[in-house]
Amino acid sequence: MKRGNRRCAACRYDWYPNRLPLHLTKIQWRSILGWFLREQSAKVIAEETKLERRRIIRALVYTRLAITKDVPKQFSGIVEVDETYIGGRWINKRKRIRAKGTKRGRGTSKQPVFGIYARRGVVWAEIVDNAEAKTLQPLITKQVKSGSTVCSDTWKGYTGIATKGYVHRLVDHSTEFVNGKAHINGLEGFWGYLKRRLAAKGGIRRQRLPLYLAEYVWKFNHRHLSKKLKIQRLLMLLKEVS
């Protein structure tokens, strides 16, 4: 339309392309994001904002999609790498699933997640198909600058990373958790935070896990920002996906 406006072919509503999604005002978005940062459910947010619950659910999906665009820059210095498995407690699985049996840790039927932690307190994480070297090592070379020090456990998936231009420091968890400056305690701390937050959700469908993973990576990385600055940053991200 004229002046750069756009018009919906279905409802004939006019809007500016740089406005926030869902035709919600900035005040409404600020209220939604404030409750989102407090870890409240869509039902609670709908009650507090007096907006339709389905609209709140869509707003939260938009927010998590926007967060996936806020990726940390390439890491350098000393970094920690590790993988974990997410899928809820085995005792809470349905009987037909428990009947199949599973392993703990590597080899489990749970969803593997790979993470990299920079010692300055920033984490990067991604859903992966498996924890093999052919999957993990390309992610390391993409997210970590050459010449950095990579700390890991003794999992075979990290074997050979030193040949790709990194200093590789190992910690054998069968005998120790810290070997000088070699440890992955920072990343282990993030895994604990992630699993506690996901457990509080009461169960998440596997196909939606990447969005929730991005949410808690973002919240962890910006944990030192004030609520006001967090909302401002989220509003900027939302404009980019609108």
Domains of the chain, residue spans: 2-67+225-241, 78-203
Q: Could you tell me what percent of the chain has a pLDDT over 90?
A: 69
93/113: higher pLDDT? 113
* Cα 217 versus chain centre, distance: 4
Interior angle at CA 145, CA 140 and CA 148, nearest 5: 90
2/98: higher pLDDT? 2
Backbone CA torsion sign across 228, 229, 230, 232:
positive
Per mean pLDDT, which range of 104-108, 175-179, 201-205, 211-215 is the poorest? 104-108
- The per-residue pLDDT for 77 is 95
> pLDDT category, 88, cuts 50, 70, 90?
low
- The per-residue pLDDT for 7 is 83
- The per-residue pLDDT for 10 is 84
CA contacts within 13 A on the Cβ side of 37:
23
Per mean pLDDT, which range of 86-100, 118-132, 139-153 is the poorest? 86-100
- For domain 78-203, give the CATH number: 3.30.420.10
- The per-residue pLDDT for 180 is 81
The Cβ of residue 136 has, within 10 Å, a number of other Cβ atoms equal to: 22
Interior angle at CA 212, CA 154 and CA 153, nearest 5: 5
- Both tokens of residue 186? 């920072």
* 121: nearest Cα among 237, 216, 229, 224: 224
Overall average pLDDT of the 203-225 stretch: 93
